[in-house]
Structure 1
Amino acid sequence: MIFTPTVLSPAEDALRHEVRRWLDAALPADFRPGLGLGGRHDPEFSRALAAQGWVGMSIPREYGGAGASTVERFVVVEELLAAGAPIAAHWIAERQTAPTLMRFGTEEQRRWFLPRIAAGECFFSLGMSEPDAGSDLASVRTTATRTEDGWRVDGTKVWTTNAHLNHFFVVLCRTSAADDRHAGLSQLIVDLSSPGVTVSPIPLIDGELHVNEVVLDGVHVPDERVLGEVGQGWAQVTAELAHERSGPDRYLSVLGLLRAFLADHGKDLDDSDAAAFGRIAARLWSIRQLSLSVARALEQGEAPATEAALVKDVGTIFEQEVVETMREVAALEIDPEGETQFERLLAECVLNAPSWTLRGGTTEVLRGIAAKALTRAAR
């Protein structure tokens, strides 16, 4: 595993301040920030952000994007997450689907989807996890059977974020039997409004309804909606996960919580609490540097899947530990209806933190990926 040290260029740093000024003006005074990528699903905000050229930033200009670098996108995403902006509508399409289309999609798919993604008009969900195949994606049971003019898809996907609000999702499914369970997998772009698609909300512990079960019962997918090569789904989804696992969303969920506490109590910290915040800041900056290094690698056309897995592991563990530290420092009863922003965010963090080491790959699976890479390197 290689994490090459890197810093932001003057132009990249200037972009950061531009985004920060825009957010100060765009978000209302009574705005209630979300937790990192847990921001609200707000198509109007996504379209306003797209008008600035900050959705689908790395999409080439010929496809309606800004032609920006991976690191420039990293800078914009950091500011959006730090502000708790309502980014959920465009998030998956911008972070994952667009790069996948650029790398594996057909020219027709690029011409149709990418301009709509860059305009904040086309929203995607992920169709990976299943009831019996969460982080073990090679165990997916959803099948796609060849028909005269396309594919018939049958199966169930779960934890499908915002499938009840979005337009499409990319489904990992089995298109042929194989002794190697990593073979015979393919990716299909499925219209969530298609006949045979049933979306059912999965209530979370905090009462939120943003993840879903999606049942596909004889759903027709035309040949032109096959993403990449039939049978190459495993290689494609592995490359895609480098985008999903390595970004600022894996360590910035708690930044709003920290800021809210310091705004209310920062001047009253004793030496012990101040030291705890110092350790948090040092770890946050270290993880951020790892994430930025992966962004540079992606910018250079590499596929650092192992490094991304490590960033996701250390990032989400860090987030959970910060929540526990804040509970101890604050010594408050958890009240979702608390009067202050800090109380509200703390309650939200406590209820959501257990999921952070699950979504995007469990800690155990990610450590297995890292261990295999280290074992190969040692040989």
Structure 2
Amino acid sequence: MALTLRAVERPPAALDGLRLEVREFLEHELATGGFTPEADAWMSGIDVAFSRRLAERGWVGMTVPVPYGGHGRSALERYVVTEELLAYGAPVAAHWIADRQMAPGILRNGTEEQKHRYLPGIARAEQFIAIGMSEPDSGSDLASVRTRAVETGDGWRITGTKVWTSAAHIATAIVVLARTDDAGDRHGGLSQFLVDLPHPAVAISPIITIDGAHHFNEVVFDDALVPRTALLGERGEGWRQVTAELGNERSGPERFLSVMPLLRAWAATGCFAEDPLARAELGRLVTRLAVLRQMSLAVAGRLAAGENPAVEAALVKDLGTGFEGEMVEAIRRHVDPEAGGVPEDLAAMLAKAVLHVPAFTLRGGTNEVLRSIVAKGLSRR
């Protein structure tokens, strides 16, 4: 009943050149005011212009095959680029969801027409795709979704409400999980749809977070008519398709590197030379970070091989987001902005991270749900 997280080596030295290239680009962006590093920037850092500058360098849609407008590069190359963007706190939220999980989802399940329609735009950072999964009163229990899609003579009509929909206000399309059929199994009868935005029967309203930022939205479908070609994959196979996408969402390096810019800013203060407790804290954090990175790389390898390591991905997300919260608390114990002498960037990132910590273990599935997935998965092995 063991998890199949195989040991992996660090990315090969052949990729060091790519890593340095990304670092040089990011250092130039910092020097020229291209962005300001932030904690949790992959979720809240929406900057369309920055995403397009990345796309110009071939760093969006990296693993999308060349015939579909991508760059045909390896999952490991994409992983290297992703790590650097996260470590620098770059604003990648505009293209993140489209690149991370919907491009692979469309490649797995889409028609040729859908692949040619959406994938080139994703790789150019011109197509931004939101995900309509969570609903009011449903939370992480996706099997309880009440949004319905009814087949009609002219297509499908979708009615329902989605919440916590990241970047829907800038999205050019949204992938919607809806119930198309009544089935004895709650996981049956679900289907996915690609709905182009804006749409006259789709209303998008902002959800403002505690820090005053706008990256979440409520999306209401009011008998929204979409063509038959909007169906993504097979009717009634939405649950299977979504769980495969969640493997990409839950296991990436963003699940333990969201607050890496905060750790870097703290380390840059040099406080460890005279504070053995801070030095020990740093060592503990970096050691755990190294283990989580190996786990994430192992899942990434299985995803690249076409497997669906849902249990392992859930474990990475559970451990990774818990670790991030502990990292923020550890740094708070050693950094007191009220005491003076704390760099402004460090104080600002810490304040934002403290407000964002509660969401770390919620988005992508609550940790309680994830532990249930792990327990059920192990019981079947």
TM norm. shorter chain > 0.5: yes
Residue 109 of structure 2: aligned partner: 104
Which residue of 4, 8, 11 corresponds with 1:6? 8
1:16 is matched with 19
Residue identity matched to 1:203: I
Render the CA deviation track for 1:262-289: whole Å, top value 9, x for unaligned: 2124355411111011000000110011
* Inter-CA distance 334–178: structure 2 relative to 1 (3 Å threshold): farther
Equivalent residue, structure 1, for 2:245: 240
Per mean C-alpha deviation after superposition, the further-off stretch among 182-191 and 16-25 is 16-25
Match of 2:345 in 1: 341
Deviations 1:117-155 (A, max 9, x none): 111111011100001211110000000011112100000
Q: How does 1:262-273 map to 2 (within 5 A)?
A: 262-273=267-278
Q: Does 1:27 align with 2:30?
A: yes
Q: Distance in 1 between matches of 2:339 and 2:99?
A: 34
Matches of 1:16 and 1:218 in 2, distance apart? 47
Tell me which amino acid in the other structure corresponds to 1:3.
L
Counterpart of 2:93 in structure 1 is 88
CA distance in 1, matches of 2:20, 2:62: 17
**How far 1:40 sits from its partner (Å)?**
2.1
Runs of 4+ residues over 4 Å off in structure 1: none
Give 1:148's match in structure 2, choosing from 150, 153, 174.
153
CA distance in 1, matches of 2:272, 2:183: 62
Give the alignment partner of residue 165 of structure 1, picking from 167, 170, 180: 170
Segments of 5+ residues of structure 2 without an aligned counterpart are none
Look up the equivalent residue of 2:4 and give its one-letter code.
Answer: I
Residue of 178, 191, 194 corresponding to 2:196:
191
Residue 47 (str. 1) matches residue 90 (str. 2): no
State the distance in 1 between where 2:257 and 2:343 align: 23
Counterpart selection for 2:124 from 116, 119, 122: 119
Paired with 1:38 and 1:225, the residues of 2 have a C-alpha distance of 27
Q: Deviations over 1:310-337 (max 9, x none)?
A: 00000000000111111111134599xx
Preserved CA contact (<8 Å) 1:133 1:139 = yes
Is the 1:33–1:39 Cα contact (8 Å) retained in structure 2? no
Amino acid in structure 1 at the alignment position of 2:192 = Q
Structure 1 portions without partners, runs of 5+: none
DSSP 3-state at the match of 2:226: strand
Judged with a 3 Å threshold, the aligned counterparts in structure 2 of structure 1 residues 269 and 132 are, in CA distance, closer, same or farther, namely: farther
Aligned partners of 1:145, 1:345: CA distance in 2, in Å?
46
What per-residue deviation string (whole Å, max 9, x for no partner) do you get for residues 73-132 of structure 1? 111101111111111111111001100000000000001111111111110111000012
State the distance in 1 between where 2:378 and 2:67 align. Answer: 40
**Aligned mates of 2:55, 2:80 — CA distance in 1:** 15
Cα offsets for 1:179-215 (capped at 9, x unmatched): 1110000000112311111111111111111101111
Shift, 1:6, TM fit = 1.3
State how 1:169-180 maps to structure 2 within 5 Å. 169-180=174-185
CA contact (8 A) 2:272 2:279 kept: no
TM-score (norm 2): 0.95
Counterpart of 1:278?
283
**Equivalent position SS for 1:34:** coil
Q: Secondary structure at the match of 1:201?
A: strand
CA shift, 1:27, in A, is 3.5
- Alpha-carbon separation, structure 2, partners of 1:347 and 1:309: 28
Separation in 1 of the partners of 2:228 and 2:17? 44
Q: Which deviates more, 164-173 or 264-273? A: 264-273
In structure 1, what is the Cα distance between the partners aligned to 2:339 and 2:18?
Answer: 38
- Aligned-CA RMSD value: 1.6
Specify the SS of the correspondent of 1:129. coil
Query: Which of 193, 197, 205 is the matching residue for 1:200?
Result: 205
